[in-house]
Amino acid sequence: MKPLPLLLLALAAVAVSAQADESLGQRLAQNSCAQCHSFAKGEGHGVGPNLFGVFGRPAALASGFAFSKPYADSMKGKTWDRALLDRWLTDTQAVAPGSGMVYFQDDPKKRDELIKFLQSLK
Amino acid sequence: MSEKTRADAVTTSRRHFIKSAGAGSAAVAAATFGFVTENAEAADLKFDGEYDMVVCGSGCGGLASALFSRWQGNTAVILEKAGSIGGTTSKAAFWYWVPNNAAMRKAGIADPKPDFLKYVARLTNPNGYDANHPRYGLTPWEYEMCEAIYDSASPAVELLAEKGALPYRHVAGVPDYFAELPEDKAPKGRVLVPAEASPSMSDGGRVAVRTMSAKARQEGIPIRTGTRVTKILQNTTGRVIGVEAQDELGATVRLRAKKAVIFATGGFTHNVELRKNFLNGPIYGGCAAPSNEGDFINLASPLGAQLRNMNYAWMCPIPLEKAVAKDGSISGMFSVAGDSMLFVNMYGQPNANEKLQYNELAHTFFEWDGAKVEYPNLVRIAVWDQRSQDHSASAEYGRLIVPRGTDDRHVIKGATLPELARAIDERLAKYAGVTGGAKLAPDFLANLQASIARFNGFAKTGKDLDFHRGERVVEQLFNGDVKEEPGRTNPTMWPLSASGPYYAALVVAGTLDTKGGPKTDTHGRVLDTGDKPIPGLYGVGNCVASASGRAYWAGGATLGPIIAFAYRTAQAASADPGSKA
């Protein structure tokens, strides 16, 4: 029966590291985004649109959500991909001046974690 | 400094010197020669940055304090605990109540100071109000704080507008919440909103955060998000010299404040322990930013700060489900929309005027029945029909009746009233753990039907003989959209349909945010238990004690005063001799 505890330990280590990775992005999103956005499927829009499935979606489209004109003007025709999200999270007002969302994040590591989290919402 | 205080300071610094054996030579010399070693501790600490003002919190109070400080020639940094800026302000409609404002003066609307003070005195201290008393029954502190609002709100908002940080729009038609009182000599005209706010004026907070933060960044004020202040740093004399904070990734940073640390970190809406210990009544959280956890109370208490007005909050009814889920985007129900709509309690009985302004309506949830040992109105049930669903749905102002496609998790549906009652019971069962097992009374359905019949009778005549719904001007202000009915005198009421479908939602009392905390003087200086300022420590907004008591004077009675005190605080902090004087 000796190998079993070792295997369990190994599995536990994998689980912990996965959880730690997941929780950083999730924790940052909770601290940065949850005040206005919901993340789960079917949760409805808040102050900002629901973010489930945001990756790969047209940037100015979220069924049932009315984007502000400055946002829609700047974002129409664009699609949420890694590059656009990175620019967006660096400084939303630089990408869509006058948009309702004010957010800026100078730290590329934090942006990267947030993007990974957003990508996982599917 | 008196001899005794000086001696105490020296003793403290010596003790400190003995403890910190590795102190630098300057500190050693100072301690050895018995000087007041104000900078001894500062010299020991390594700081990651130094500013005249360290401002904690990036809502309106923090942004305005930093901007006003900057315009007085100071350097400032803003630390924000959350990952994004704006705090509760970004969720607010951002009406701001500014007595005797420039637009009123220009329009010839008189707003005499004594009457303004009588109005706020009557609402703040109803049982002590006396029109003939020199302070109208207010305590000296309350009176001075209210005077400060009258004196400083207008110059403060003019400066913000002039500098382009917060251009405003005067909404001359918005009434005060108690416009009928004889003391209110300016019942309309005190409310401003950000110039770019939408016509419905519900998004002012996002506009204000955008324009004020853009100005702050343009003025060279760094805004560090994800930075939670964990400690207020003092030197050996007790002067506040900076803060210690934790970054989201766990790093510790120390920032030195040459003149002042200004807190504007919001109230304790999301701190269950503080809520339970200081608020009277079963409050289910609220719509303050999730980061409003009463940090300043916990940080300032060890410094001997005096707490005041801890028992009151800016209150608002909120949907139970969103409160329990701690939904970050929850909004208070500023406007209980719908005409064919009523609230009943667990017995199916209506016992409130649904159109009362939010703070007053929320207070009615706390009635305690000492014989039945229960809060009979702990959870109220809003009931409406298809007419209100079709004509009064809106995603703004925290309305319960929301359009298709928006977040409607709180809405309960039933094709008939019996079906609706069953669905309400099922929903309540899910929340039994947070309501003490509240469920509908056995005769709920019969009572609900009778209540609707009685309401429908009032709706036909436009006269609510029980609760006088819609009779006050403010109640019509918050009515929201309703279907046009030519010739109707009371647009807040219309009979509920005799046939379904029907809709319902569970409503509890919550806060926009709390309004108690460390007491400040009229210059934002935080006072200790002996009413003496704690040197270098300032506070603005919902993190400090409001002098309004239980009252919610008018729409914008949170933000107007916050701007006034940010202005006064920045002036005082700018003139603060700081730790090097």
The structural domains of chain B, with segments of one domain joined by +, span 88-219+265-312+515-574, 317-511
User: Would the pLDDT of B38 be above 70?
Assistant: no
Q: Is the CB of A35 less than 8 angstroms away from the CB of B91?
A: yes
How crowded is residue B547: how many other Cβ atoms within 10 Å of its Cβ?
27
Min Cα distance A10 → chain B (Å) is 26
In CATH, A3-119 is 1.10.760.10: yes
CB contact, 8 Å: A34 with chain B? yes
Q: In chain A, which residue's Cα lies nearest the Cα of B88?
A: A35
* Residue range A67-94: mean pLDDT, rounded: 96
Position of tokens 């304790």? B268
* pLDDT of B304: 97
Residues 6+ apart with CB under 8 A from B262: B53, B54, B55, B56, B62, B65, B66, B69, B524, B538, B539, B540, B569, B570, B573
Contact list in B for residue A38 (CB cut-off 8 A) is 327, 329, 407
CB contact, 8 Å: A90 with chain B? no
Q: Of B80, B81, B84, B247, which to mutate for an interface test with A (greatest number of A Cβ within 10 Å)?
A: B84
* pLDDT of B14: 36
Helix or strand (DSSP H, E) at B132: none
End-to-end CA, chain B: 13
Choice among A76-80, B48-52, B324-328, B461-465 with the minimum mean pLDDT: B324-328
Q: In chain B, which residue's Cα lies nearest the Cα of A99?
A: B210
Q: Is the CB of A36 less than 8 angstroms away from the CB of B90?
A: yes
* pLDDT of B537: 98
SS3 state at B34: coil
Residues 6+ apart with CB under 8 A from B211: B164, B165, B166, B167, B194, B196
Choice among B121-135, B246-260, B394-408 with the minimum mean pLDDT: B394-408
Mean residue pLDDT across chain B: 91
How many residues appear in chain B?
581
CB nearest B210 (choices: A27, A44, A102): A102
Looking at chain B, the number of H-run helices and the number of E-run strands are: 18, 18
* pLDDT of B12: 39
Cα B302 from Cα A55, distance rounded (Å): 47
SS3 state at B384: strand
DSSP structural state of residue B281: S
User: Would the pLDDT of A70 be above 70?
Assistant: yes
Q: Is the CB of B85 less than 8 angstroms away from the CB of A102?
A: yes
Confidence of residue B348 (pLDDT cuts 50, 70, 90): very high
Min Cα distance A39 → chain B (Å) is 11
* pLDDT of B26: 40
Min Cα distance B159 → chain A (Å) is 22
User: Would the pLDDT of A64 be above 90?
Assistant: no
Min Cα distance B435 → chain A (Å) is 24
* pLDDT of A44: 78
User: Would the pLDDT of B3 be above 70?
Assistant: no
B interface with A, Cβ–Cβ < 8 A, is 82-86, 90-91, 203, 206-207, 209-210, 213-214, 223, 225-226, 248-249, 289-291, 327-329, 395, 403-409
User: What's the Rg (C-alpha) of chain A?
Assistant: 18
Superfamily in which the B88-219+265-312+515-574 domain is placed by CATH: FAD/NAD(P)-binding domain (3.50.50.60)
* Residue range B237-264: mean pLDDT, rounded: 96
Confidence of residue A22 (pLDDT cuts 50, 70, 90): low
Q: Is the CB of A64 less than 8 angstroms away from the CB of B404?
A: yes
* pLDDT one-digit tens code per residue, A101-120: 999 999 999 999 999 999 99
Strand B240-247 relative to strand B227-234: parallel, antiparallel, unpaired? antiparallel
Identify the CA nearest to B420 among candidates B525, B486, B348, B521: B348
Contact list in B for residue A48 (CB cut-off 8 A) is 329
DSSP codes of every residue in B521-536:
-TT-EEEBTTS-EEEE
As to burial, measured by CB atoms within 10 angstroms (0-12 exposed, 13-18 middle, 19+ buried), residue B176 is buried
Are B301 and B271 spatial neighbours (Cβ–Cβ below 8 Å)?
A: no
Q: Is the CB of B327 less than 8 angstroms away from the CB of A38?
A: yes
* Residue range A86-90: mean pLDDT, rounded: 98
* pLDDT of B205: 95
Q: Is the CB of B225 less than 8 angstroms away from the CB of A28?
A: no
Angle between helices B140-162 and B559-574 (to 10 degrees): 90
Give the distance, in angstroms, between the CA of residue B80 and the centroid of all CA atoms in the same chain: 17
Under 8 Å CB pairs connecting chains A and B tally to 89
Cα B553 from Cα B119, distance rounded (Å): 8
Contact list in B for residue A45 (CB cut-off 8 A) is 395, 405-407
Percent of chain B with pLDDT over 70: 92
Strand B380-385 relative to strand B341-344: parallel, antiparallel, unpaired? antiparallel
Residue type, B487: G
Q: Is the CB of A45 less than 8 angstroms away from the CB of B407?
A: yes
* pLDDT of B200: 87
User: Would the pLDDT of B21 be above 70?
Assistant: no
DSSP codes of every residue in A87-103:
HHHHBHHHHSTT-S---
* pLDDT one-digit tens code per residue, B411-439: 999 999 999 999 999 999 999 999 999 99
Min Cα distance B326 → chain A (Å) is 10
* pLDDT one-digit tens code per residue, B529-555: 999 999 999 999 999 999 999 999 999
* pLDDT of B453: 98
* pLDDT of B5: 35
Contact list in B for residue A104 (CB cut-off 8 A) is 223, 225
* pLDDT of B335: 85
Min Cα distance B520 → chain A (Å) is 29
* pLDDT of B580: 63
Min Cα distance B339 → chain A (Å) is 25
* pLDDT one-digit tens code per residue, B458-484: 999 999 999 999 999 999 988 999 999
CB contact, 8 Å: A63 with chain B? yes
Are B76 and B53 spatial neighbours (Cβ–Cβ below 8 Å)?
A: yes
* pLDDT of B533: 98
Confidence of residue B405 (pLDDT cuts 50, 70, 90): confident
Identify the CA nearest to B288 among candidates B19, B87, B94, B544: B87
Q: Which architecture does CATH list for B317-511?
A: Alpha-Beta Complex (3.90)
Are B548 and B557 spatial neighbours (Cβ–Cβ below 8 Å)?
A: yes
Q: Is the CB of A32 less than 8 angstroms away from the CB of B214?
A: no
Cα B184 from Cα B230, distance rounded (Å): 43
Q: Is the pTM of this model over 0.95?
A: no
Residue type, B297: I
Min Cα distance A6 → chain B (Å) is 31
Choice among B59-63, B197-201, B356-360, B368-372 with the minimum mean pLDDT: B197-201
Contact list in A for residue B251 (CB cut-off 8 A) is none
Residues 6+ apart with CB under 8 A from A33: A39, A48, A51, A114, B83, B84
Are B248 and A28 spatial neighbours (Cβ–Cβ below 8 Å)?
A: yes
Confidence of residue B333 (pLDDT cuts 50, 70, 90): confident
Identify the CA nearest to B521 among candidates B507, B535, B500: B535
* Residue range A83-99: mean pLDDT, rounded: 97
* Residue range B214-228: mean pLDDT, rounded: 98
Q: Is the CB of A45 less than 8 angstroms away from the CB of B395?
A: yes
DSSP codes of every residue in A1-53:
-THHHHHHHHHHHHHHHHHHHHHHHHHHHHHHTTTT---STT----SS---TT
Classify the complex by whether its ipTM is higher than 0.90, answering yes or no.
Answer: no
Contact list in A for residue B405 (CB cut-off 8 A) is 44-45, 63-65
User: Would the pLDDT of A89 be above 90?
Assistant: yes
* pLDDT one-digit tens code per residue, B167-216: 999 999 999 999 999 999 999 999 999 999 999 888 999 999 999 999 99
Contact list in A for residue B226 (CB cut-off 8 A) is 28, 31-32, 110
Omega into B501 within 30° of 0, i.e. cis?
yes
Contact list in A for residue B218 (CB cut-off 8 A) is none
Read off the tokens for B32: 């050895």
Q: In chain A, which residue's Cα lies nearest the Cα of B203?
A: A100
